[in-house]
Amino acid sequence: MLFLLPRLPVGGAERQIAALVTALDRDRFRPLVACQHALGPVAEEIERSGVPVLLLSGASRFDLRFLFRTVSLIRDERVRIVLTHGFSTGVVGRLAAWIGGAPVRILAEHSTGERDMSPVRHRVNRVLNPFATAWIAVARGQVEYLIRTKRIPPERIRVIPNGIDPAAYRPAGARERVRAELGIPAEAPVAGILAVLRPEKDHESFLMAARLVLDELPEARFLLVGDGPLAADLEREVAVLDMAARVKLTGRRTDVPEILTAFDVSVLCSTDVETFPLAFLESMATGLPLIGTRVGGLPEMIDEERNGILVPTRDPTALADAMLRLLRDRDLAARLGSESRRRLEEEFTLPRMVRAYENLFRELLDTH
């Protein structure tokens, strides 16, 4: 089977694909991974597991060689299942699978909004919808958007939540070591956000809420973990709000299980595009209470008042109130964090996710 992606940077969707392809039952499935534009750090992780990763094209989205090479790969490797992620790879993947004779053509959907779409793209997708066997959503919150806006037949949509291995989280001794490295006092209450620094993550509201929290809880600290195009702007915003001594932008970290132990509360305040984020799964595995906006799949991850708190989008005051409540009440935070870990272990583990994909693959092969 072939997994077809634009590239493999360090992102939540890409890391979930890596986890899936490396965990598939090799007695039943022979996974291949191919990228359209570039490889990336996650490609190395996949290759170390013994799964081949190929580069089929280049920077251009309109390189016809990508279609021809994908068709050749499907035929040469006798691929039966093609799973694509992304718009251009979804277009080419469906056509190449049809031309190359792969009977099962699946599109993985990781969006609940229009950020990367356009009327032309929607028309292209609708023309090609008959060429797809199934669509995989990672959250129930996506389904209405997929049916209403992308015009996908509801009977072809399957919801398979993301999953991770909880055993890799809460490493012993990491909290003290990481806090010392970052210059955070051992007993300081810390709220953090693990997310790429892009507009839809709304780090600005997080910083405005942090300013409100500090006015009432000056010993609090705040961490922004991740990198992205808004890094310089956010650094300036921290200075303008006079929080340089209380807020730290760590940049991209490869030690996520360790860095999360420095948090007391994990926050995501996305505005419009969020599905089933790996950042929250990792926070749940760490045993953290969650604060999230009512966007996409976040309400499916947060059981209100049991493992976290939901707040409106673009509402720094509500976000600050939620952070203050959990940062002040350590017993409440611990209780909600324990429930986060329990929910992850019961509902969102990697083996559970892999089994769901394998069952779907077998079902679609049997019926097509």
Q: Is residue 357 predicted with pLDDT exceeding 70? A: yes
Q: Which amino acid is residue 18, in one-letter code?
A: A
Question: Could you tell me which residue, 86 or 310, shows the higher pLDDT?
Answer: 310
pLDDT in tens, 125-174: 999 999 999 999 999 989 998 999 899 999 999 999 999 999 989 999 99
H or E element at residue 234: helix 231-240
* Angstrom distance (rounded) from CA 158 to CA 156: 7
Highest mean pLDDT among 105-114, 166-175, 331-340: 331-340
Question: Which range has the worst mean pLDDT, 12-16, 17-21, 113-117, 217-221?
Answer: 113-117
Positive or negative: CA dihedral 253, 268, 160, 110: negative
Strand ordering across the sheet containing 32-35 = 53-55, 32-35, 2-5, 81-85, 104-109, 134-137, 157-159
Q: Which amino acid is residue 11, in one-letter code?
A: G
The pTM of this model reads 0.91
Token look-up 């992620």 returns 85
Q: Is residue 11 predicted with pLDDT exceeding 80? A: no
pLDDT in tens, 232-271: 999 999 999 999 999 999 999 989 999 999 999 999 999 9
Structural domains of the chain, with CATH: 2-163+349-367 (3.40.50.2000), 166-347 (3.40.50.2000)
Sequence-ordered alpha helix ranges (H) in 34-86: 41-48, 64-76
Q: Please, are residues 111 and 139 in contact by the beta-carbon 8 Å criterion?
A: no
* Angstrom distance (rounded) from CA 81 to CA 31: 9
Going by pLDDT thresholds of 50, 70 and 90, the confidence category of residue 114 is low
Going by pLDDT thresholds of 50, 70 and 90, the confidence category of residue 115 is low
**182 Cβ contact list (under 8 Å, min separation 6):** 223, 248, 250, 262
Residue 61 confidence (pLDDT): 63
Q: Is residue 62 predicted with pLDDT exceeding 80? A: no
